[in-house]
Structure 1
Amino acid sequence: MADAVDCSGDAVDLTDRGLRIGSIFIIMAASLFGALSPIVLARQSKIPVPKFAFFITKFIGTGVIIATAFMHLLVPAVENLTDVCLEDRMGGYDWAEAIALMTVIVMFFAEMLASRMMDDATDHSHSHGDIDVELDPAMDLIAAKQPEKTSTSEELSQTTDAEARPTEAGYAPGGESHLAHKRDHKEGDSTSLGGQLLAIFILEFGVVFHSVFIGLTLGTTDELVVLLVVLVFHQMFEGLGLGSRLAVAPWPENRKWVPYLLAGIYALSTPIGIAAGIGAKPNNANTQKLVNGIFDAISAGILMYTGLVELLAHEFMFNPYMRRAPIKILLLAFACVAFGVAVMAILAKWA
């Protein structure tokens, strides 16, 4: 049982106010650099940047986001909500895991409805079993270097038969089954485009939401220096992952400015949280643990869904480029994901 003094609820000693204020601009610069660099490099021609660099950065970013959900959000949520000083409020239940779980379910329900509404709005003729896939410019470059395969007479016959019956249930031109998730959407397909942009906005929401609350933590922590150093790298790596996806997404011509707006919002999210934490001046440490734990659990659920479903599953399972890529490309992508996971898991030792 905790001593009465330990659970008195005294507020954290908010010293080093100057450094806390300075951290607003330090974090903003690191976040902006991470999120904006891929977009700027992808849209300029003076400095030649291989498309493969965006491929690598994108998959490292996927690992960063997944590790952030588990190691940087769920773990502190569990620690806060199972604190002995909150036992009387929490009733001994595993609230952190429960909140994260329900957030995943809500995220899935919201995306399911959004996808359904987009399908109805575009008046598309695809069956409900279609899976939207992402067209990867980096993989375009890889595919272009692969030798063309000479079709046999049997394959040509199968292709002709399939093209002659494109409206039969489960078939599409090319003889591939919709229900097997093997139909390739062509460039400019409105459903594919909408699915990609929806995934990006979900990712943006999840990253921004949790960034605000890690800013709140930085603004009120008593371990300011260590957490600040770790969060500079954390926000920069996460920004690179987000920015690389914003850079390669097929934005419509009249929406080319949107990636810059989303990168700017990401860069401002953590500084806003820091400023709110400094201005709020929390006067009860137990209430602060409760609030931080709840929002960390919500953020963990959002990034779990985004990282595992929107990024990992769609990239490796539903992306035709990855399914057909040489094994060395597949292994390289997986290695990038593993590297991003490892880096953020190590940083979790300090933050």
Structure 2
Amino acid sequence: MATSAACDAAESDSCRDDAEALNLKFVAIASILLAGVIGIAIPLVGKNRRVLRTDGSLFVGAKAFAAGVILATGFVHMLSGGSDALNSPCLPEFPWSKFPFSGFFAMMASLATLLVDFVGTQYYERKQGLARPTEDQVRVGSDDSRPGLESGIVSAQKESNGTIFGEEEGGRGMHIVGMHAHAAHHRHSHPQDACDGHVTEPGHVDSGHAHGHGHSHGFGDDDEDTGVRHVVVSQILELGIVSHSVIIGLSLGVSQSPCTIRPLVAALSFHQFFEGFALGGCISQAQFRNRSAAIMACFFAITTPLGIGVGIAISSSYNPNSAGALVTEGILDSMSAGILVYMALVDLIAADFLSKRMSCNFRLQILSYCLLFLGAGSMSLLAIWA
């Protein structure tokens, strides 16, 4: 009976003050909105400034800190919140206490994000025409001045002794090597001196135009492919952030306890700033048009304040301990955790920390790892109060 009464009560009266809670909610809306706007605006506005350029060491370090914040948000805040909601004594024992639903929903959300990531990348690659083998062959064979080197296919010409050009005497095998195939192999190799910007192979003679031709295509394709990845990453990251921002804002908006709201204001402002910085960096690297970037930035900035506003509107009739509210909150928190963990590890941390630039700069490695752990630790510590 005591448990049933506690579940029917909207909130404990130990620290309930509706008037003060409402004032704190308006403070939270202003603070979180300002933090989000500043966080996402810094990389977007400063991308053409020398200090804040997206290829600068300062930006890479700040992005590593933000990635740590997002990772801790997923593991420490969202996943634990989803687990608490789905294991609440206010829910029926079957099935919620018989299976770890929070981890399951987080795992499925991560796998779904992987699928969306893959499909989105394939879509944009086709849309931008990156897969053009026919055009590449035509372009490679278009140089009339040196057709033998550029075509990639050496025509079979009979010599006077009856052998085909390129064939060893005795018919032991063909040695027809297409320059385009060699260039493709050459640009995909990663020797140790790649950090110096010179890619050489043992026993390979730099043969002028054909050698340079392979490099030009390799770098161009890599640049376009990287641009596609940034487009997909920025959109999926925004989806993950928005999905949990609504729940966070709603939870704060329905609370009537100043003791709960006060620490949330500081924690969510800190969290919103660095999430905005990470998202703004991805949008900046994706090189969206100004209008598209502004729409994405505004959508991110208003989501949590909008959730708080909705929470304020329904706070009089909303019971956070009801079965429907707990299941909805638990599932969405768990799924948000899976999305954020995937995005932090795969598209933010791995993409930067396994890059050629990071591997070639020891000081940048030390700085980025320190900031990554600092960001994750700072956001984790906030779980003590919020």
TM-score tier after normalising by the smaller chain length: 0.7 to 0.9
Instruction: Specify the SS of the correspondent of 2:276.
Output: helix
Q: Which residue of 2 is the match for residue 230 of structure 1? A: 267
TM-score by length of 1: 0.78
Following TM superposition, by how much is the alpha carbon of 1:158 offset from its aligned partner in structure 2, in angstroms?
A: 6.0
Q: Which residue of 2 is the match for residue 179 of structure 1? A: none
2:335 aligned to which of 298, 301, 312: 298
Code of the residue aligned with 2:287 in structure 1: it is: W
* Contact persistence 2:87–2:96 (CA under 8 A): no
Q: Which residue of 1 is the match for residue 347 of structure 2? A: 310
Aligned residue runs from structure 1 range 32-181, under 5 A: 32-43=37-48, 49=52, 51-88=56-93, 90-92=95-97, 93-125=99-131, 155=202, 157=204, 173=214
Instruction: Specify the SS of the correspondent of 1:3.
Output: helix
The answer on 1:199 being equivalent to 2:237 is no
Code of the residue aligned with 1:333 in structure 2: it is: S
TM-score by length of 2: 0.71
Percent identity among equivalent residues? 27
Alpha carbons of structure 1 residues 184 and 298: separation in structure 2 relative to 1, 3 Å: farther
Superposed CA RMSD in Å reads: 3.2
Following TM superposition, by how much is the alpha carbon of 1:39 offset from its aligned partner in structure 2, in angstroms?
A: 1.9
Aligned residue runs from structure 1 range 178-257, under 5 A: 185-186=219-220, 189-221=223-255, 222=257, 223-247=260-284, 249-251=285-287, 255-257=289-291
Q: 2: distance between equivalents of 1:336 and 1:197?
A: 25
Q: Which residue of 2 is the match for residue 5 of structure 1? A: 5
Following TM superposition, by how much is the alpha carbon of 1:5 offset from its aligned partner in structure 2, in angstroms?
A: 2.5
Structure whose CA Rg is larger: 2
Q: 2: distance between equivalents of 1:151 and 1:304?
A: 35
* Contact persistence 2:267–2:382 (CA under 8 A): yes
Any runs of at least 4 consecutive aligned residues in structure 1 with deviations exceeding 4 A, and if so which?
11-14, 148-152, 158-166
Instruction: Specify the SS of the correspondent of 1:84.
Output: coil
Following TM superposition, by how much is the alpha carbon of 1:219 offset from its aligned partner in structure 2, in angstroms?
A: 0.7
* Contact persistence 1:81–1:90 (CA under 8 A): no
Q: 1: distance between equivalents of 2:209 and 2:321?
A: 65
Q: Which residue of 1 is the match for residue 300 of structure 2? A: 266
Q: 1: distance between equivalents of 2:270 and 2:197?
A: 44
Q: 2: distance between equivalents of 1:304 and 1:206?
A: 10
* Contact persistence 1:184–1:320 (CA under 8 A): no
Q: 2: distance between equivalents of 1:184 and 1:66?
A: 33
Greater Cα shift, 81-90 or 226-235: 81-90
Instruction: Specify the SS of the correspondent of 1:86.
Output: coil
Code of the residue aligned with 1:85 in structure 2: it is: C
Instruction: Specify the SS of the correspondent of 2:62.
Output: helix
* Contact persistence 1:67–1:341 (CA under 8 A): yes
